[in-house]
Structure 1
Amino acid sequence: MARRLREEHDYDDDAVIEVREALLALAARHPLQSADATGYLLRSFFESLRRHVRAEQDLLAIFTDLTPPGGTLN
């Protein structure tokens, strides 16, 4: 699970660069792609982040269930 989350972080880092470049170009009025393509890029990015956050929340829920009340895992 930890490996999967690290891989997702790497993917997210790459996606952030792509989104940043697209938005900076759009703000400079020199879009790199059509408005539809930019919209798709953003929707895909946000969906990926939502999925990633849900996976991390699930992992935290598992750890919370395993931790004894007032204690730590040893």
Structure 2
Amino acid sequence: MRTPETPLLNVETCSHGKTNDGGITAVQEGVFFTFPACGRAHQATRDKYEVDTAWLEEQRIADERRARLALAREARRG
């Protein structure tokens, strides 16, 4: 029942090892981004960046809510 969603990836440190000073901490997978400390363009991919833990927690909560909603619908149908 889960819909496919593009995950947010943690970009606090770029793939070149520079610390992100641009204010962003996570971007969607596949997005190109840059920040002043490095100056180069990067693409957010899972092979270079980890999935953001806050995004994972939001997805877990959303899954629980969807499951409860499905149970409530089923209960109303009898």
TM range (shorter): 0.3 to 0.5
TM-score in terms of structure 1 length: 0.46
User: Which is richer in helix?
Assistant: 1
